[in-house]
């Protein structure tokens, strides 16, 4: 088997506050192979963006990476200087931010932004050669009339097209890894899946490893190769899409799947997981899911379950479900 394009091991990020250090994410472990798509799924506040930002080396004070390793094509990123990281960003690892305005400058024409991104890594590139690359990149992400679009401004693009534009820019330098954080202005799930489908094809062709961050399991259900489910700052279950969707072993994953509307159950009431996600300042002892879990016992309340192999995937639970059980 070849080497993972991205390997994250035991990653933890904390924020310094007046009440002391708050762990936003911890024990984060996942890998993505070249050309593969990993769906990083979880509710709001579960730590998806922090995981993406930490992978990019973009955690600013009062936040910091407390421990862990992030390797791109085998090379460690944690501990590199800002100047060294800047050289890696765009060319080796690239991110599409949840807030599109972070990536796209509203006052610059699309061609100016794209040529700038190219020249950041290839200073001597001629304008003509750069324009050719930009046109190809826009066409590759399914933006119609690229010649015309290149002369426009980001606000002239619809939500879906703006996301495609951010992806085109992020992919310009053919990075080994692309992390796409779902835009805040929740796009239609159908558009999200469509964009992901196109980017997935592109990633497969270029060998880019893709991490697709979303709070909606149905966006990545049909398109990701593997899924990592986050809850309260931890990855609770990681496995192939088929394993996770058809046979979840973590009670939280099972609850999440039960709450996704399916064609078969149209009109039926969605099963909601009772209770709410814990906040960082009031994290329960032991398993963070125990206040909401039907299977919780004394061990669950006392000890954090470490991730371990269960039925071909990784599950962080003291009492993983058995095959086809329900939460």
The residue within the footprint of ligand SF4, chosen from 11, 13, 93, 287 (CB under 6 A), is 287
The residue within the footprint of ligand SF4, chosen from 255, 289, 307, 313 (CB under 6 A), is 289
- Residue 48, classed as helix, strand or coil, is helix
- Choose between 125 and 325: whose C-beta lies nearer to ligand SF4: 325
What is the distance between the alpha carbons of residues 217 and 48, in angstroms, rounded to a whole number? 13
Partner whose binding site includes residue 319, from Mg ion, ligand ATP, ligand SF4, none (CB under 5 to 8 Å by kind): ligand SF4
Binding track over 21-40 against ligand ATP, x by CB under 6 A:
---x----------------
> How far, in Å, are 86, 111, 189, 311, 326 from residue 217 at the CA level?
32, 34, 10, 21, 17
- Choose between 31 and 318: whose C-beta lies nearer to ligand SF4: 318
- Its sign, for the CA torsion 147, 152, 157, 162, is positive
Which residues partner with 32 through β-bridges? 6
- Residue 247, classed as helix, strand or coil, is coil
What is the distance between the alpha carbons of residues 248 and 321, in angstroms, rounded to a whole number? 8
Q: Does 173 bind Mg ion (CB under 5 A)?
A: no
Give 279: exposed, middle or buried? Use CB within 10 Å, 0-12, 13-18, 19+.
exposed
Binding track over 225-254 against ligand SF4, x by CB under 6 A:
--------------------------x---
Q: Does 214 bind Mg ion (CB under 5 A)?
A: no
- Choose between 44 and 81: whose C-beta lies nearer to ligand ATP: 44
**Total binding residues for ligand SF4 by CB under 6 A?**
12
* Structure-block tokens of residue 131: 């324009």
Partner whose binding site includes residue 64, from ligand SF4, ligand ATP, Mg ion, none (CB under 5 to 8 Å by kind): none
- Its sign, for the CA torsion 203, 204, 207, 210, is positive
Binding interface with ligand SF4 (CB under 6 A): 251, 287, 289-290, 293, 295-296, 300, 305, 317-319
Binding interface with ligand ATP (CB under 6 A): 15, 24, 42, 44-50, 63, 98, 215, 280
């Amino acid at each position: 088997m070849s080497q993972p394009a991205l390997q994250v091991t035991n990653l933890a990020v904390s924020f310094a506050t007046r009440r002391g250090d708050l762990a936003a994410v911890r024990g984060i472990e996942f890998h993505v192979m070249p050309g593969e798509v990993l769906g990083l799924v979880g509710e709001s506040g579960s730590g998806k963006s922090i995981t993406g930002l930490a992978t990019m080396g973009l955690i600013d004070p009062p936040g910091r990476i407390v421990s862990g390793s992030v390797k791109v094509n085998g090379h460690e990123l944690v501990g590199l200087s800002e100047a060294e990281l800047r050289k890696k960003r765009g060319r080796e690892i690239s991110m599409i931010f949840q807030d599109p305005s972070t990536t796209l400058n509203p006052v610059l024409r699309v061609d100016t932004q794209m040529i700038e991104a190219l020249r950041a890594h290839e200073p001597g590139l001629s304008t003509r050669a750069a324009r050719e690359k930009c046109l190809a990149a826009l066409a590759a992400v399914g933006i119609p009339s690229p010649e015309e679009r290149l002369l426009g401004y980001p606000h002239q693009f619809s939500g879906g097209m703006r996301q495609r534009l951010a992806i085109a820019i992020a992919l310009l330098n053919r990075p080994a890894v692309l992390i796409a954080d779902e835009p805040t202005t929740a796009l239609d799930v159908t558009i999200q899946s469509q964009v992901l489908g196109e980017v997935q094809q592109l990633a497969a062709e270029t060998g880019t490893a893709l991490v697709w961050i979303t709070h909606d399991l149905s966006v990545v259900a049909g398109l990701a190769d593997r899924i990592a489910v986050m809850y309260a700052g931890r990855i609770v279950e990681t496995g192939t899409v088929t394993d996770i969707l058809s046979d979840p072993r973590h009670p939280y994953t099972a609850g999440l799947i039960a709450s996704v509307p399916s064609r078969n159950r149209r009109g039926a009431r969605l099963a909601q997981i009772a209770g709410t996600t814990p906040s960082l300042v009031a994290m329960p002892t032991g398993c963070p899911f125990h206040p909401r879990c039907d299977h919780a016992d004394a061990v669950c309340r006392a000890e954090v379950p470490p991730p371990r192999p269960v039925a071909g995937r990784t599950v962080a639970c003291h009492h993983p479900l058995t095959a086809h059980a329900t939460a």
